[in-house]
Amino acid sequence: MAQAQRLRPADTNPFDSFDDLEMLLFRQEGVIGRQQATRLLSPAAVQHRLVTGAWRVAHRSVYVVGSVQELTPAQRQWVAVLSTAGKRGAALGGVSALQVDGLRGFAPAPVHVLISGSARDRDPPGYVVVHRSTSVRHVDLHPNRCPPHTSVGRSIVDAAQWAATDTLAAGIVAASFRQGLATLDEVTAAVDRQRRAKRRTLVLDVARDASDGAHSLPEVEFLRLCRRARFPMPKCQATRIDAAGRRRYLDAYFEEYGVHIEIDGEQHLEATARWADMRRQNDLWIAGDRILRFPAWLVRRDPRAVADQVRAALLAAGWRPRPRR
């Protein structure tokens, strides 16, 4: 039986005692492709591990260490990549790639995999969605590549164009900025490289708004509402010091006119959060600001009603719209 070769003599590094096979399994969450396995072991050795239960078949030509039937999310990602990888390889893309880089708040299934436009999908598992592209460049791949996945900018553009709705697409872009995964330069460059990508304009608009301080999708949608209504652009997450010296964060603030906008999400249903918001609102009213509150669903479903009230408040505060040319 062919034995895996030692990486180097053992020294103070605990990983030095790992052989090539152990290190590969460690890096790949206990998942290994048949082609990888037969580079290090004989076919008989691979078969022995399967017969004895040391390994089991996770998908065609992909194995996982142990007998536990339920794969972890990380193992599913590796199975997805290895089961679809042809000669040119495969990479996680879209939301799946963003989750490798730390995106939270989105369901892990399905697993999105990006392959060359000329490659076959090789019968992937049922939880895998395969996308083909002829425009994947080296700069579109994450330098970490473990598991192989696209760069953050490319992942955001792909996630947006693969999303079922505009709202979901915008939410992914906004969350990527809110969670510190992306920069405006990264996303802009990725959009420029993908001239045929769907929702390119939406991605750029949301990315610009999110990079300007909007922390949530409702805040991003409110900025888009202001732009369409030709209002002055407010500051998002602006800070104020209240009467007690505490720092307060304002969802959107028209500083020149003292008009403050609060967009309430579901968290405002909690009693303690509701009182904290009321106290903040009272402090700002005492200081002389005008405060308007809108539920997040209204910003999304009836932006005209929101715009009408914001316009009235701005006009009352002295704003005068510029005449249309």
In which element (H, E) is residue 24 found? helix 20-27
Pick the closest to residue 183 from 193, 172, 173 (CA basis): 173
pLDDT tens, position by position, 247-268:
666 788 998 998 988 887 644 4
Residue pair 48/80 in contact (Cβ under 8 Å)? The answer is: no
Which pLDDT score is estimated for 267? 47
Instruction: Give the HSE-up count for residue 275: Cα atoms under 13 Å, Cβ half-sphere.
Output: 2
Whether residue 142 is predicted with pLDDT greater than 90 in this model: the reply is no
Percent of the chain clearing pLDDT 70 (strictly above): 80
Angle, alpha carbons 45-73-181 (nearest 5°): 125
The model's confidence at residue 4, banded by pLDDT at 50, 70 and 90, is: very low
Higher per-residue pLDDT: 296 or 88:
296
Rounded Cα gap, residues 16 and 170, in angstroms: 46
Over residues 262-280, the mean pLDDT reads 59
What Rg value do the Cα atoms of the chain yield, rounded? 26
Ranges 29-38, 160-169, 294-303, 307-316: which has the least confidence: 294-303
- Tell me which residue has tokens 């040119």: 88
Whether residue 28 is predicted with pLDDT greater than 60 in this model: the reply is yes
Q: What is the pTM of this model?
A: 0.71
Rounded Cα gap, residues 281 and 286, in angstroms: 9
Which range of 33-37, 174-178, 212-216, 288-292 scores highest in mean pLDDT? It is 33-37
Whether residue 288 is predicted with pLDDT greater than 90 in this model: the reply is no
In order of 17, 292, 320, the CA distances from 12 in angstroms are 10, 63, 72
Domains identified in the chain and CATH numbers? 1-70 (no CATH), 72-211 (no CATH), 217-316 (3.40.960.10)
Buried b (16+ CB within 10 A) or exposed e, 246-269: eebebbbbbeebbbbbbbbeeebe
Whether residue 6 is predicted with pLDDT greater than 50 in this model: the reply is no
Which pLDDT score is estimated for 293? 86
Whether residue 325 is predicted with pLDDT greater than 90 in this model: the reply is no
SS3 99: helix
Residue pair 137/171 in contact (Cβ under 8 Å)? The answer is: no
Two tokens, residue 279: 């106290």
Which pLDDT score is estimated for 186? 94
N-to-C CA span, the chain:
82
Q: How far is CA 70 from the centre of its chain?
A: 25
pLDDT tens, position by position, 33-87:
999 999 999 999 999 999 999 999 999 899 999 988 889 999 999 999 999 876 5
Rounded Cα gap, residues 28 and 58, in angstroms: 13
SS3 95: helix
Residue pair 127/109 in contact (Cβ under 8 Å)? The answer is: yes
Which pLDDT score is estimated for 297? 76
Which pLDDT score is estimated for 274? 55
Residue pair 41/2 in contact (Cβ under 8 Å)? The answer is: yes
pLDDT averaged over the chain?
83
Which pLDDT score is estimated for 268? 43
Burial of 137 by CB count in 10 Å (0-12 exposed, 13-18 middle, 19+ buried)?
Answer: exposed
Over residues 129-135, the mean pLDDT reads 88
Burial of 180 by CB count in 10 Å (0-12 exposed, 13-18 middle, 19+ buried)?
Answer: exposed
Rounded Cα gap, residues 170 and 202, in angstroms: 7
DSSP letter assigned to residue 150: B
Whether residue 5 is predicted with pLDDT greater than 60 in this model: the reply is no
Which pLDDT score is estimated for 31? 96
SS3 290: strand
